[in-house]
Each structure stands twice: as structure tokens, then as C-alpha cells.
Amino acid sequence: MKSNKTIGVIPARFGSTRFPGKPLYKIAGKPLLEWVIRGAREARSLSEIILATDHKDIAQLGMDLGVSVVMTSSNLPSGSDRVWAAVQDLDCDAVVNIQGDEPLLKGEFIDTLVEDFYRTGREMATLIQSLEPEALLNPNVVKAIINKNGEALYFSRLPIPYTRRKAEGKIEGCWQHLGLYVYKKSFLKEFCATAPCILELSESLEQLRALWLGAKIQTIKVDYKCMGIDSPEDVFKVEPFLRGK
């Protein structure tokens, strides 16, 4: 039986709107991107890890850490488009989009995602976890709604599903989305050949383009501690975990 070949790609651009130069920002003594690369390299399910970037200093960091580097345009509309630019000419069955701002990433997160992806046979899969009460009204925390089969129905930055009661505490049926994706390579090609849809543009969430295309996104529930860096203030929340405190 043919074994599946899965490539991991870390899209990392320099010009973040909310946090310019974020991949190179030092957290607990190391650049943010270095923490991500170290975590990704623990994954057993990846045949290769590629850093896709638009900046020479980010590229140099990747080379120093021993991963393949592909230079991509600064004008690509999303992280998935940057991932596709890196793998479009490579032979593989699936591609993992590894967010470059998740310093608490561990290889086991990726392995869990990839294993369930191949088991379910969907076009795409991603991770979700329980939603903490304080995250409900935070627009930087993406909420997910799923069906009985664990397939995503919708994602939003707002508290969903809508409730007439005051939105406080946990809304039953709402999960926190963790921005780690795996796609069939064939679907990633279709995704990136399609212009962003109105849902994606309204919410600024690229996974809504996949739902708009009619794709099945399998969600996998995990209880890992994940914490992305969206702003300089988030650094203070994450550093204690990286320092082991």
C-alpha cells in the first residue's frame, strides 16, 4: 500500500498589520518563528518542513535552523496562498499549514491532525478546543460551530451560535478554533485558484472560502494548550509557558 506523503509549510511574512516583524520578535530569548520551527520538527508525520516567506531575514533564520526555504511574493492574499506557492511543484498527497505565530506548537498537535485527516478522508481538517469564558468576546479568538460528525458548519470572530441571553461564560456548542490546517493538495490548488468570497472578506477568515466552495472541513477536538501571538501584548501571556513557569 502506498504511504501518504505530507509536507508541512510555515507561512511567515514580515509585514503583519497588527505586529510588523512578528516572526523575528524574541520571546523567552528566541525569535517567535524559532519556537514554531522547533515544535514542527518534532512531528513524525511530516516528510519535509518548508518555510515560505517574503523577507530575507526570516529566510536566513529558517536556513540557520535547517529547514527548506521558499521565497514568496509579499502580495499573496492569505497564508494558504503562500503555502500553495511553496508546494505547487512538489509531489505530495497533503499539505499542513503551520501557523507561524503559535510558539507553543508541539509535533504531537500536527501528528494528531494528520492522522485523523487521513482517517476521515475529508478535503481539509483543523483543530478545535474548548472555549474559555474570557475568550468568548475576544475577536482575536476564532469560534467554530460543528455538526454531529465533527464537520465545521461555520467560523466567526463573534460569539456563535447567537443567543438572546447576555453573551457571558460558555455558549453551548461553541468551540475555539486553532489555526492549524491540513489539506489534500488537490483541494489546496482549487482553494487558491478561487478568489476570496464575501464570507472570508467579512470575517477575515480564509477557512470560510473552503466552506463556500462546499468542502468538508473535519474538526479534531484536542485539549492542548495553544496560544497565538496576535499583538505585542500577547507575548507577556505566552512567555511564562515557554520558560516553564
Cα–Cα distance measured from residue 107 to residue 46, given in angstroms and rounded to the nearest whole number: 9
A 10 A CB-CB count for 128 gives 22
Cell numbers linked to 162 = 447567537
pLDDT tens for the chain, 245 residues: list them: 457 899 999 999 887 766 778 899 999 999 999 999 999 999 999 999 999 999 999 999 999 999 999 999 888 888 899 999 999 999 999 999 999 889 999 999 999 999 999 999 999 999 999 988 888 888 888 999 999 999 999 999 998 887 655 555 556 789 999 989 999 999 999 999 999 999 999 999 999 999 999 999 999 999 877 777 777 788 888 888 888 74
Grid coordinates in use for 164?
Answer: 438572546
Residue 190 has phi, psi (to 5 degrees) of -65, -45
CATH number of the domain at 6-238, out of 1.20.1560.10, 3.20.20.70, 3.30.420.10, 3.90.550.10? 3.90.550.10
Q: Tens of pLDDT along 190-215?
A: 999 999 999 999 999 999 999 999 99
Rounded distance, CA 8 to CA 152, Å?
A: 22
**What backbone torsions phi and psi does residue 218 show, to the nearest 5 degrees?**
-80, 130
Residue 176: CA count within 13 A, CB half-sphere? 22
All three cell numbers of 98, joined, read 503551520
